Structure 1
Amino acid sequence: MLLFILGILCGIYGTVVIFMAGFLELQNYIWYVFAFVFFALGKLIKLYLNKRIPLWSVVSVCTLATLGILIFVITVVVIRLSVPKDDKKSLDFLVILGAKTDFDKKESDCIYRLEKAIDYINENPDTIIVISGGMQKNGKIESLEMADYLIERGIDRDNILVEVESHNTRENLIYSKALMDKYNEEMKINTDFIIRNDIGPVEVVEARPETIGILTNDFHIFRAMQVAKKLGYTQVSPISAKSGNILYLHMLVRETFAILKYKFLGYI
């Protein structure tokens, strides 16, 4: 009976997710898969009780299901522990990771990130914003739309750097790092100066490491930070934006699969 109820709940939640997050993304249908699994488990147990299948088949399926739930619970704990309690102030750069620009949706991860960026820049106006994100399925470029959103709300366009090539978290960070390195090199060329004295010319440059913040939603912080460190980011700090209440569980499930994928591919 419990498994049947869990299956019904997964089906209902899956329907809510599809209506809120979109019909075209296959990953939004994962809750229907979970519903089927719970119904199948219930059916297997019933068949065993009727002595139509052996015990080992039920134990095997239940063990796999329990292992999956355990992995999910551990991952959620790790994700929650990675969310910072406070934001590091006066960063040199604030990298906003790309997100689907669904500005018309009630719970938009993208809007949560951008509103957090506005709050941060209002408190730390000298921080340079780096927006990352390439072309979406609708032909629009994430980072440009995100930049327009910030500019319309009063952020100085001269304070924004944009990269338009990336399509996932790892690429966001790769291309953002390249953009920041290019910016630093150009600034170094423009600001280097020479001191001349009796000893001879001495070139003066700033050797202090650049401090970088990575801004994304709370459920995404752990993976983003792990990828950044793997790519050689130093002096990097997480800046956490909130996420929607209704879709939060769905995003945690998606993120669990994403973390496992990135671990398998060696990205973290």
Structure 2
Amino acid sequence: MKLLLNQKLRRYLLLVVVITVAVVEIPIIAIGYLTKPVPSDTIIVLGAKLIGNQPSTMLRLRLDEAVHLYNEGYAPTVIVSGAQGQDEIASEASVMHDYLVAKGIPADKIYVEDKSYNTYQNLLNSKSIMREHGLRQAIIVSNSSHIRRSLVLAQQLGIEASGSPAPMADNAYLTAKQYAREGAAMLSLLVLRQ
């Protein structure tokens, strides 16, 4: 009898976990693939880890998406956002700035926000830059796994924004890890909002 109860409890818990993962992960995946940018006043590129003084693969993919958007005329300015992490030799924003300039975006069209350590701070500080320069609408650029949470936070902060998902790294382990991380972050965001 006790063994049967333990099996039922395990099945029930497994079902709860599967449903929770589906409810949280499916919207993250869907929005990461379906979101399209809308022409705006600026492009906000959210920071990610550096490798030495170079963008990591995930960050490079974000920056390349911003270059594409800028060259296609989606927005006349770019905000790069990210502080210097403890294990980094420069701020993410300064490396992002240099990368974009090397790709042909004029330096005077790039605003540097180098005080933020997380997505909430990225967007809050970018909103201040937008206000300072009279920018009303933004396209948020991050990797597909990160777009949903970025858009939810932007909405909470009162930023009128669309998203432009950059691809994920061509690495199954890294991709799975990023989606799991975002699932946990979205779950925490949804729980804390209640």
Band of TM-score, shorter chain = 0.7 to 0.9
Separation in structure 2 between the aligned mates of residue 166 and residue 239 of structure 1, nearest angstrom: 21
TM alignment of 1:184-263, pairs within 5 A: 184=134, 210-234=136-160, 236-245=161-170, 246=172, 247-263=174-190
Q: CA shift at 1:137, angstroms?
A: 2.0
**Residue 63 of structure 1 is aligned with which of 1, 6, 12?**
12
Structure showing greater radius of gyration is: 1
**Residue 92 of structure 1 is aligned with which of 25, 41, 45?**
41
In the other structure, the counterpart of 1:194 is none
In the other structure, the counterpart of 2:124 is 174
Separation in structure 2 between the aligned mates of residue 93 and residue 151 of structure 1, nearest angstrom: 16
Separation in structure 1 between the aligned mates of residue 5 and residue 84 of structure 2, nearest angstrom: 49
Q: Is the 8 A contact 2:130 2:136 kept in 1?
A: no
Q: Is the 8 A contact 2:42 2:137 kept in 1?
A: yes
RMSD (CA atoms): 2.2
Higher strand share: 2
Separation in structure 2 between the aligned mates of residue 231 and residue 150 of structure 1, nearest angstrom: 26
| Structure-2 change in CA distance of 1:59 and 1:146 (3 Å) | same
TM alignment of 1:99-118, pairs within 5 A: 99-102=48-51, 103=54, 108-118=57-67
- Is the aligned partner of 1:164 residue 2:114? yes
SS in 2 for 1:130: strand
Separation in structure 1 between the aligned mates of residue 6 and residue 94 of structure 2, nearest angstrom: 53
Q: Is the 8 A contact 1:92 1:211 kept in 2?
A: yes
Separation in structure 2 between the aligned mates of residue 85 and residue 224 of structure 1, nearest angstrom: 12
Q: CA shift at 1:249, angstroms?
A: 1.9
TM alignment of 1:125-140, pairs within 5 A: 127-139=76-88, 140=90
Q: Is the 8 A contact 1:134 1:166 kept in 2?
A: yes
Q: Is the 8 A contact 2:44 2:78 kept in 1?
A: yes
- Is the aligned partner of 1:54 residue 2:42? no
SS in 2 for 1:87: coil
Q: Which residue identity does 1:142 align to in structure 2?
A: E
Write the deviation string for residues 205-248 of structure 1: whole angstroms up to 9, x where unpaired. xxxx82211111111111110111011112x1111111124222
In the other structure, the counterpart of 1:22 is none
Q: CA shift at 1:81, angstroms?
A: 2.6
| Structure-2 change in CA distance of 1:216 and 1:126 (3 Å) | closer
Q: Which residue identity does 1:67 align to in structure 2?
A: V
Higher relative contact order (CA 8 A, sep 6+): 2
Q: Is the 8 A contact 1:101 1:146 kept in 2?
A: no
Unaligned runs of 5+ in 2: none
Percentage identity across aligned positions?
Answer: 27
- Is the aligned partner of 1:82 residue 2:31? yes
| Structure-2 change in CA distance of 1:180 and 1:72 (3 Å) | same
State the TM-score, normalized to the length of structure 1: 0.64
Write the deviation string for residues 57-97 of structure 1: whole angstroms up to 9, x where unpaired. 232233223322221122222113323354323x2111111
Q: CA shift at 1:253, angstroms?
A: 0.9
Separation in structure 2 between the aligned mates of residue 250 and residue 138 of structure 1, nearest angstrom: 20
Q: Is the 8 A contact 1:130 1:160 kept in 2?
A: yes
Write the deviation string for residues 148-199 of structure 1: whole angstroms up to 9, x where unpaired. 1111222111000011111111111101001111122xxxxxxxxxxxxxxx
Separation in structure 1 between the aligned mates of residue 120 and residue 19 of structure 2, nearest angstrom: 26
Unaligned runs of 5+ in 1: 1-50, 185-208
